Amino acid sequence: MKTEDTLYIKILIWTYQRQEAGFSWGDLKQEFGLSPAQEQWVQKIFRSNLPASDNLIDHLSYSGQKDSHLFVITSKGTSAAIEYLNLMEAKRNSERAEKIALVAISIGATVGVFQIIVSLYY
């Protein structure tokens, strides 16, 4: 499985995109179609409470009107998401640089061969 396809990364980026508005646990479950086992894993990884400073998401508030709890990504979660996004950007940039380098090498080789052929006949 590719790294960008893992549930951890998907949830991390999803929560990062909702950092200002927050989200309910129901929204998270519905978005990713979590099974009970996956829901338990997500809670363990993202919100273990042991110690609370290591949580990637945390409880923000409770709405009595909607009867739901609002969660937000923590600074540690934000840092992890930003690091991942920066890594993906660096990967795209390196792939682009590699393509440009291959084109430049091909052009250089073609010009070199052409110069050799021209110097042999003239």
CA distances from 58 to 52, 63, 74, 100 (A): 8, 15, 6, 44
**Residue closest to 85 by CA, chosen among 16, 33, 27, 7:** 16
For the cut 80, the answer to whether the pLDDT of residue 36 exceeds it is: yes
- The model's pTM is 0.74
pLDDT band per the 50, 70, 90 thresholds, residue 16: very high
77 vs 47: CA distance, rounded Å: 10
**Residue closest to 11 by CA, chosen among 60, 81, 79, 61:** 81
pLDDT tens profile 94-118: 999 999 999 999 999 999 999 999 9
Sorted by where each begins, the domain ranges of the chain are: 3-91
18 vs 116: CA distance, rounded Å: 60
CATH 1.10.10.10 matches 3-91:
yes
